[in-house]
Amino acid sequence: MPDGSHGSGRSHWGSRFGFILAASGSAVGLGNIWKFPYITGEYGGGAFVLVYLGCVLLVGLPLMYSELIIGRRAGKDVLGAMRKLTSHCGDMGKDLSGFAGMMGIASGFLILSFYSVVGGWAIHFFWVSLDLIPMAQGGADETFGALAGSWKVSTLWHTVFMALVISVVARGVHDGIERVCSRLMPALIGILLILLVYVGFTGGLGASLAFLFRPDFSKLSGEGALEALGHAFFTLSLGMGAMVTYGSYLKSDTFVVRDGVWIAALDTIIALLAGTVIFAVVFAAGMEPGAGPGLVFVTLPDLFAQMPGGQAVGIGFFLLLIFAAWSSAISLLEVVLAYFVDEHGLSRGRGALLIGGAIWLIGVGSAVWSQVFDFLDGLTTNYMLPLGGMIIAIAAGWLIKPEDRVAGFTRTGGAGAFLATAWLVVIRFVTPVLVLAVILYKMEIIRFE
């Protein structure tokens, strides 16, 4: 089958396992290794983790199914799929789902532009940990300040990162994405396990596990709960059609329930392992966990420098960060590219270069002006993903035809029917309401004093 072609010769994953690795590669990213640990640190640990796990189950998984079902059933890019499965609806339904599709493509475009800048920072720190770029006199703080403050250096690494992403996506779903993710994901898990064994000897492991897994509900705030819910979206790559697009390369008889559980479980386990490793390092050094967004780039490199064998740990850690960011960035570009390939007949190779180039250009804006970075980050993760997720939930729960809806649950007999009903109740009523709460909170309409 010609890979990357459109129309009847549309590409497919080589195996179910390959699909799970690619989709969990999308899910496991900077959100797991960089963001999850620092927000957990800021919101007080165990109780936040518990709420986050609840959000993954109650909102994340149901939405993951919705996206996979829509993609698999339609066999098209996110906009094409949303249009196809709601073509029998009235104008309002059609417009709403078309809007979500377009917003998904725009989100992929915009998120990748700044995500790539952060991916580039990880490459810079990888070179620093190899000692190929010297650490600044003032340590990681100064090194990071100089990096983020120099648009030239940031742009250089952003360019390298985008080139890595484009080169994989251009080669197609099977020969590019699946093949690379099938190597990156096992490598990533391997590195994480080695780091875990290492921190077992540093003395911080017990404190780290207690911090992450012993809930202290007095520390939990409403703000933390909504942050956990918002993060569940980002970390599972939901709300913009990444799972619709990846689901569309499944064979049409694939049973998606088990795969969804695998993807969410891998994502969650890897976030928890990364948190365990990072906080063990932090506690072993007698530091506080609430360092904020600078945790990975500012706090950790200094701590690595002080640890015995720390150089190897630093190299492993930043390689982990690069791999995680890379496989996620691939899915962001694929959402946009699939649209141009499926709907406009653009060739995959040319499209990857053109669209990747345009994304690169916007990304330079984020590398030059931190305001652009912050604006795009806030706009996409706070508003576009939740809004997209809400509409996808509404489309899956209310708009698409019942036979399209249950298709992903068949082949399980009685349990399938029960699961389908439970899922339908959640996706119709619970998910949209909870997601609306996140949006209102981000818009500061819901406040916690």
* Chain contacts with ligand PHE (rule: CB under 6 A): 26-27, 29-32, 111, 234-235, 237, 240, 242, 328, 331-332
Smaller CB separation from ligand PHE, 202 or 431: 431
Nearest to 65 by CA among 338, 262, 229: 262
CB of 243 to ligand PHE, least distance (A): 9
Smaller CB separation from ligand PHE, 30 or 166: 30
Q: Are 121 and 154 in contact (CB under 8 A)?
A: yes
CB of 340 to ligand PHE, least distance (A): 17
Smaller CB separation from ligand PHE, 236 or 303: 236
Smaller CB separation from ligand PHE, 22 or 424: 22
Cα 70 from Cα 74, distance rounded (Å):
6
CB of 35 to ligand PHE, least distance (A): 7
CB of 218 to ligand PHE, least distance (A): 29
CB of 247 to ligand PHE, least distance (A): 13
CB of 145 to ligand PHE, least distance (A): 24
DSSP lists the bridge partners of residue 5 as 10
DSSP 127: H
Smaller CB separation from ligand PHE, 31 or 176: 31
Smaller CB separation from ligand PHE, 154 or 237: 237
CB of 293 to ligand PHE, least distance (A): 14
CB of 30 to ligand PHE, least distance (A): 4
Smaller CB separation from ligand PHE, 352 or 407: 352
Cα 437 from Cα 449, distance rounded (Å):
16
CB of 240 to ligand PHE, least distance (A): 6
- The 3-class secondary structure across 354-401, one letter per residue, is HHHHHHHHHHHHHHHCHHHHHHHHHHHHHHHHHHHHHHHHHHHHHHCC
Smaller CB separation from ligand PHE, 78 or 257: 78
Cα 72 from Cα 250, distance rounded (Å):
6
Cα 238 from Cα 425, distance rounded (Å):
19
Cα 102 from Cα 336, distance rounded (Å):
10
CB of 417 to ligand PHE, least distance (A): 31
Smaller CB separation from ligand PHE, 233 or 340: 233
- The 3-class secondary structure across 131-175, one letter per residue, is CCCCCCCCCHHHHHHHHHHCHHHHHHHHHHHHHHHHHHHHCCHHH
Smaller CB separation from ligand PHE, 336 or 420: 336
Nearest to 234 by CA among 19, 13, 444, 435: 435
Smaller CB separation from ligand PHE, 205 or 335: 335
Contacts of 51 (CB under 8 A, 6+ apart): 220, 224, 225, 228
Smaller CB separation from ligand PHE, 25 or 351: 25
CB of 112 to ligand PHE, least distance (A): 8
Max distance between CA atoms of the chain, in angstroms, equals: 65
CB of 241 to ligand PHE, least distance (A): 9
Torsional class of 50: left (φ above 0), alpha (ψ -120 to 50), beta (otherwise)? alpha
